[in-house]
Amino acid sequence: MEDDKIVGYVTAFLKKKGFTQTEKIFQEEFQHNKSNTSNSLLEPDIANHLLAFSQLETGPARFHDGYSRLRTWTYSSLDLYKHELLRVLYPVFIHCFMDLVAKGHVQEARNFFNTFREDHEMMHLRDLQKLEGVLSPNHLEEMEFAHSLRKSKFNIKICEYSYELLLQHLHSTQSTTILGIINEHINFQVTPGQPSLISDDPEAVTLTGSSQEAANLINQKEIHWGLLEDSLEERLEKAGALLLDSEKGEGEAKEGENDETKKRSIEGGKQGGASVKKVKKDKGGSATGKSAKPEASTVPAAPRVKPELPLPVIPTEVEQSVLEDLRNRVQLSSVALPSVSFYTFINTHNGLSCSSISHDGSLIAGGFSDSSLKVWDMAKLGQQASSLSQGENDTSQNEQIFGQGGGKRQYTLFQGHSGPVYAASFSPVGDFILSSSADSTIRLWSTKLNANLVCYKGHNYPVWDVQFSPVGHYFASSSHDRTARIWSMDRIQPLRIMAGHLSDVDCVQWHANCNYIATGSSDKTVRLWDVQSGECVRVFVGHRVMILSLAMSPDGRYMASGDEDGTIMMWDLSSGRCLTPLIGHTSCVWSLAFSSEGSIIASGSADCTVKLWDVNASTKVSRAEEKSGSANSRLRSLKTLSTKSTPVYSLRFSRRNLLFAAGALSKSG
Amino acid sequence: MSFVPKETIEVIAQSIGITNLSPDVALALAPDLEYRIREIMQESVKCMRHSMRTFLTTEDVDTALALRNLEPIYGSTSNDPPQFKRAAGHKDLFYIDDKDVDIKDIIEAPLPKAPLDTSITSHWLAIEGVQPAIPENAPVEAPSEIRKSEYKEDGLPVDVKLPVKHLITRELQLYYEKITDLTLNKPGSIPFRRALVSLATDSGLHPLVPYFTFFVADEVAQNLNNLAVLFALMRLVRSLLQNSQIHIELYLHQLMPPIITCIVAKRIGNRLSDDHWELRNFSANLVASICQRWATGAHFYYCMVPKRAMRRFGHIYHNLQPRVTKTFLHSFLDPTKALPQHYGAIKGIEALGSRLIRLLILPNLEPYLHLLEPEMQPEKQKNEMKRHEAWQVYGALLGAAGQCVHEKVKMFSNLFSPPTRVTSRGSGKAVIAMSGKRKASTDNLMQQQQQLPPMKKLATDGPGGVVAMNSMLVDMQGSTGGYSSMMGVSSMSMARQISIDNVPGREVGDQQRKLSSTLAQAWKDDIDTGNLVSSVVELFGESVLPFVVSNPEACMFL
């Protein structure tokens, strides 16, 4: 019986291939061999292989059937191994779909995609949306995402027993198609022992392609995340020792004042009230004295590093003003929340693309989609308002202020870009503004001269973000061309080009010590780059959608990133791990900001709220998470401040820990 | 195969001049078109995000096209939504109805308003973490909503307790409708009387009590002109109060207002022949029974009521009688009130007991009678209706004072000997003409005598009343200070006004001062009975004699 089957299959194969002469010769030879009975025996293994090989050619249904069987088996497996085996399904699903498209079975590919896509929508919705449009082999070659998927491997961590279970299933069901895909596109990291818990595995969301191994190697590099030597904070620390001596003298003077107030309080009631006020002032003074001491004690905890860039010289006046701000800084904590001053843009007609606030809140810049950059001087606005209100009531005051569009402009208009302005950044002192645009250029403006000074050209595509360094003079930019560049104000060519992201670089942020920059990308990763060498020293994986905002802690230890879905991740720079996700926002996180001493994070979102988060509680919970394995994210959210239908575009803490926020009033129509 | 149908490709080909496109070409182009559209849309979403918007606009699409070195889509914008129309002859083909507009019309049209320029305002979103309640900030409710969503995200479901439905069976609904219909439409019929008996004795009516309560309150407010309906409603309330199967005490605070309305309302009924005086008497007795049963139960049945019941109702209703008394007193002492309202107040206080009569009515008796006397004279009050009302009030006052005197005389005579039957019967028949100072028609006098017997019955209920009076006296001592001071002030002011109007001589002045002092102290328990009786007789004349003639020894004081 088997001989007849084999002859039939071979004959059909030869017919299919068009070898008519070979078929005739084969049949004649078969008839000739039939007479010799002793030579007609065939080995059974060869027969089985021939049968299996013929089954391979039945058509595209084998992808659908193979994946369906694998899926059924995985979902019905033991819970102990189920979460590990489920990770195998996504790459198999994607590659089955792409193989079907590559072989020209477009209709079957679409049916396959629609049948099984729901399993993976939660984790990979954006990728599925991209792949859904792939309908021909040409699209596979044109789309870089699909192309990179087909040329690289997924890395999946799995325990030894789960791996053996998977192989046994594939061999027992003879799913050679699925087995081929797994061998070609999945790289298993088999670990001995028990399967790991889901919460203990930070690599549950893995990078696609071989860059996962590169990311692991990169994350083992050493980085010096400490603060700069000879910085203003260090000088304040040294001045703190001098303050202790001077406070003693001030204490003696206060004691003398107390004696005088005691004498006055004996005299009468009216003077008693005055003495009470003086006592209150003294208490205020002593409170500021007390708050300065713990501030000095916390600073030495951060290690010191040398700057790798030649830093500019800070003028003496600026240095003194910074030191004064640091001395008078409000100490924030989970029980002492900051005050928030909110700037609302009115009548933007959906044209405001970005906003930026200077360090002291006196200047507000707004970038618009009509290529203009407008800067408001809040000090002048305040003077106008006060002068108008002398002889009029509030209603007419508001009317006249808003109606002054024809007469006087309340803002300074900077025009020069030929595309929408996507980012604006004030220099630390406030005398320069940088703006980036869709016309691929970055422009430097002077707030004193009200003119465009420099136009930096180097990017080939829209520049999404631009940021001044914390000390000025240098700035970084990120672009649609997947690069981030570092510039100096006095040169029109970039100093460094950071290349390595797989998609748009959406946001950029400087480290506190100016030796590193961080970039967030549409490839859902955040990377840390060394400014001196231009190398990538950290890759942070964990977001599921594009990253829209970044913030660095003042002590250089932590970083926060916000994404399109409203998730905020807190990262430890030295280990490259995510401490905790901060869940609470329901829409894009446009802006993040650390307070000046690093105890509070503020986040502004498109859901019209500003949220305040406790940094110390986040770090504590991360340690407790290792023990208990579960975290209560409500404890980390300190406060939610709602605006009245105004998405929050930008946030900034001043040097004295006053939080400035800006947003555009959105009309409900 | 693709989201873009083949017909779309053919229509686009025709629009650019290709009329004989092969179907195979259309099938091959459709997936490619879908792919290109998806690419542009993904780029548009990136531009949208970097413009800090959450909704896609045409500018984003134009920017995405520019990124690919493609020409943007040109055309003028209009605020009207596109108008799609169905093409004739084709079932699935639509087109945009683009009208031809003369360029002359466009040129001559007035220019639209220039958009307002962008401006900026600032306010405090939070001061040290606290959001001030200023117009620029969102209302305080918004954070709680956000916290609720946070709770849901954390996996803590919020348990919202929905109100429990009050289920009424079909039979109870029919019963309720039947009784309410009889009350409103056939108040005097025999089925209504049977309904009253059913309400007073049936069990299982507790679910209907809140509905009956609201029914009575609503109908009393709407039927103040309908005396028959009001009487029926009050009888319904009496039946509910008599039913021991239901817990009517839980709804007393809803039932009291309509009952008191029937006592002190300004106008009840719409005809001159309506006897609203009887309704006021009936309602006053209802209030008295309620107060006696629930408000003063802790004191009246002190020996019989267990402690659990006292704890259960005492703290809820201990202030019921003072509140009711206060309502009546305000109505009685208010000169702007109508005479029927005074009548109702007097009847209400009288029904509550002799102690309240001595506490609230007797100290104000003399000044009130001086104000009332002109209303009773035909020479001064021409309106016969008003005179009738005045005589009704006079009768109520006479009844109240008589009841009080009777109580005191009875208490006095109990110390010596019980009254004899022959004496009371004989003296009842004797009718002596009143003095010339107080002239009255024979009809009014007959009305007074008709009302006397029921007052007598109430006054002589039994020795329980005496016990109640004694205990109430002790408990009310704390609250009598306020009452007496208030009444003293009003009494003195009334007396002064009267003295100004009339020029008294020495003899008359002395008599009035004596009367005022005696009546002002009527609330005291140790008052001289002889002085009290002589004072009341001085005011009312011989018409009060039936209350005291049962004891012949008391005649010596006259």
Selected residues 133-162 of chain A with any CB under 8 Å from a CB in chain B: 133-136, 138-139
Classify A374 as helix, strand or coil.
Answer: strand
Q: What is the pLDDT of residue A549?
A: 92
pLDDT digits (tens, 9 = 90+) for B446-489: 444 434 444 333 433 333 333 333 333 333 333 333 333 334 33
The CA distance from B119 to the nearest CA of chain A, in Å, is 5
Best A440, A582, A641 member to test B by mutation, with max B CBs in 10 Å, is A641
Closest chain B CA to residue A110: B1
Percentage of chain A exceeding pLDDT 70: 68
A348 and chain B in contact, CB less than 8 A: yes
Q: Does A110 touch chain B (CB under 8 A)?
A: yes
Q: How confident is the model at residue A437 (pLDDT cuts 50, 70, 90)?
A: very high
With an 8 Å Cβ cutoff, are A634 and B154 in contact?
yes
Residue B150 sits at the chain A interface (C-beta within 8 Å): yes
Taking the CA of residue B4 and the nearest CA in chain A, the distance in Å comes to 11
Say if B58 is an interface residue toward chain A (CB within 8 Å): no
Nearest by Cα to A235 from A175, A180, A290, A296: A296
pLDDT tens-digit map of A479-531 = 988 899 999 988 788 988 888 888 889 999 998 888 888 999 988 889 899 88
A556: closest CA of chain B, how far (Å): 26
Q: How far apart are CA B249 and CA B233, in angstroms?
A: 18
- Kindly determine whether residue B63 and residue A405, on different chains, have CB atoms separated by under 8 Å: no
* Residues A150-177, mean pLDDT to the nearest whole number: 76
Q: Do A135 and B2 touch (CB under 8 A)?
A: yes
Q: Is the minimum CB–CB distance between A105 and chain B shorter than 8 Å?
A: no
pLDDT at residue A30 tops 70 = no
What pLDDT does residue B209 have?
Answer: 82
Give dist(CA A232, CA A213) in Å, integer: 40
With contact defined as beta carbons under 8 Å apart, do A63 and A100 qualify? yes
Q: Is the pLDDT at A22 greater than 80, yes or no?
A: no
Shortest CB distance from A339 goes to which of B52, B115, B127? B127
Q: Please tell me if residue A660 touches chain B, with a CB cutoff of 8 Å.
A: no
Cβ distance B128 to A138 less than 8 Å, yes or no, reads: no
Go through the domains of chain B in sequence order and give each one's CATH number: 6-108 (1.10.20.10)
| A133–B59 CB contact, under 8 Å | no
Asked if A448 contacts A468 with a C-beta cutoff of 8 angstroms, the reply is: no
* Mutation site for A-interface testing, chosen from B2, B117, B123 by largest number of A Cβ within 10 Å: B117
Flag whether residue B142 sits within 8 Å of chain A, measured between CB atoms: yes
More confident residue, B53 or A5: B53
Q: What is the DSSP string of A212-271?
A: HHHHHHHHTS----SEETT-HHHHHHHHHHHHHHHHHHHHHHHHHHHHHHHHHHHH-HHH
Half-sphere exposure of B94 (CA within 13 A, CB side): 6
CB contact under 8 A, A462 and B67: yes
Residues of A in contact with B143 (CB under 8 A): 640-642
Q: What is the pLDDT of residues A236-287, one digit of tens each?
A: 666 655 555 554 444 444 444 444 444 443 434 333 333 333 333 333 333 3
Which domains does chain A possess? 58-209 (1.25.40.500), 340-381+409-618+634-664 (2.130.10.10)
| Nearest Cβ partner for B128 among A339, A586, A647 | A339
CA–CA distance, A145 with A46 (Å, rounded to integer): 41
Which of B39, B118, B143 is the closest to A348 by Cβ?
B118
Residues of chain A with pLDDT > 90, as a percent, come to 12
Interface contact B38-A374, CB threshold 8 A: no
Q: How confident is the model at residue A426 (pLDDT cuts 50, 70, 90)?
A: very high
CB A569 within 8 A of CB A543: yes
More confident residue, A120 or B77: A120
- Chain A residues within 8 A of B60 when measuring between CB atoms: none
User: How far away is chain B from the Cα of A588, in angstroms, using its nearest Cα?
Assistant: 8
Which of A8-22, A203-217, A260-274, B178-192 is most confident?
B178-192
* Residue A385 clears pLDDT 70, i.e. is over it: no
DSSP per-residue string spanning A304-370: EE--SS-PPPPPHHHHHHHHHHHHT-----SSSPPPEEEEEEES-TT-EEEEEE-TTSSEEEEEETT
Kindly calculate the radius of gyration of chain A based on its CA atoms and give it in whole angstroms: 33
- Interface contact A661-B32, CB threshold 8 A: no
Strand partners, B343: none
pLDDT at A263: 42
Stretch 388-407 of chain A: residues touching chain B, C-beta under 8 Å:
401-402, 405
Ranges under pLDDT 70 in chain B: 1-3, 75-81, 83, 90-91, 98-99, 138-167, 247, 249, 253, 267, 269-275, 292-319, 355, 379-380, 382, 384, 407-558
Distance from CA of B170 to the nearest CA of A (A): 49
Which helix H or strand E contains A442, and what residues bound it? Answer: strand A441-446
Q: In what order do the strands lie in the sheet with A589-594?
A: A589-594, A600-605, A609-614, A637-642
When computed from its CA atoms, the radius of gyration of chain B, rounded to whole angstroms, is: 43
Q: Model confidence over A533-558: pLDDT tens digits? A: 887 888 888 887 889 999 988 878 78
Out of B32, B67, B138, whose CB is closest to A642? B138
B446 and A CB contact within 8 Å:
no
As a whole number, the mean pLDDT across chain A is 73
CB proximity B214 to A under 8 Å: no
Which positions in chain A touch B144 (Cβ < 8 Å)? none
Decide if pLDDT at A368 tops 80. Answer: yes
Q: How far is A461 from chain B (nearest CA, A)?
A: 7
Q: Which of residues A314 and B343 earns the better pLDDT score?
A: B343
Residue A281: the pLDDT is 37
* Nearest residue of chain A to residue B57 (CA atoms): A350
| Out of A342, A348, A612, closest to residue B122 by CB | A342
Least confident of A19-28, A276-285, A313-322: A276-285
Q: Tell me the CA distances in angstroms from A221 to A226, A534, A536, B437, one per residue in order.
A: 15, 14, 9, 122
pLDDT value, residue A603 = 92
- The alpha-carbon gap from B77 to the nearest alpha carbon of chain A, in Å, equals 15
A158 in Cβ contact with A188 (< 8 Å)? yes
Asked whether A651 and A604 are in contact (CB, 8 A), the reply is yes
What are the pLDDT digits (tens) for A448-471?
A: 888 988 899 888 889 999 999 888
Q: Report which of B359, B398, B343 is spatially closest to residue B545, judged by C-alpha positions.
A: B398
* Cα angle A7, A13, A18; round to 5: 125
- What is the model's pLDDT at position A560? 93
A546 touching B (Cβ < 8 Å): yes
Check if the beta carbon of residue A652 is closer than 8 Å to that of residue A357. yes
Q: Check B116 against A347: CB less than 8 A apart.
A: yes
CA of A591 vs chain B CAs: smallest distance (Å): 10
* A648 close contact with B: CB closer than 8 A: no
CB contact under 8 A, A461 and B1: no
Paired sense of beta strands A304-305 and A340-346, if any = unpaired
Q: Report yes or no: A169 and B70 within 8 Å, Cβ to Cβ.
A: no
Strand positions, DSSP E, A531-635: 536-541, 547-552, 558-563, 568-572, 577-582, 589-594, 600-605, 609-614
The one-letter code for the residue type at B126 is A
- List, in sequence order, every residue forming a beta bridge with B94; answer none if it has no partner: B86
Give B72 to chain A, closest Cα distance, Å: 14
Report, as an integer, the average pLDDT of A408-421.
Answer: 83
Instruction: Tell me how many residue pairs between chain A and chain B have CB atoms under 8 A apart.
Output: 184
Bridge partners, residue A412, by sequence:
A375
Q: Tell me which chain A residues have a C-beta less than 8 angstroms from the C-beta of B31.
A: 106, 135-136, 139
DSSP B47: H
Which residues have C-beta within 8 Å of that of residue A17, sequence separation ≥ 6? none
Q: Is B2 on the interface with A (CB under 8 A)?
A: yes
> Span A304-333, mean pLDDT?
75
pLDDT band for position A620 (50/70/90)? low
> Do B118 and A639 count as a contact with CB atoms less than 8 A apart?
no
Residue A375 phi/psi, 5-degree rounding, is: -125, 125
Is A600 at the interface with chain B, CB within 8 A?
A: no
Q: What is the pLDDT of residue B521?
A: 57
* Predicted pLDDT at B334: 77
Quick check: A480 and B46 CB within 8 A? Answer: yes
A352-357 and A340-346 strand pairing: unpaired
Q: Does B121 touch chain A (CB under 8 A)?
A: yes
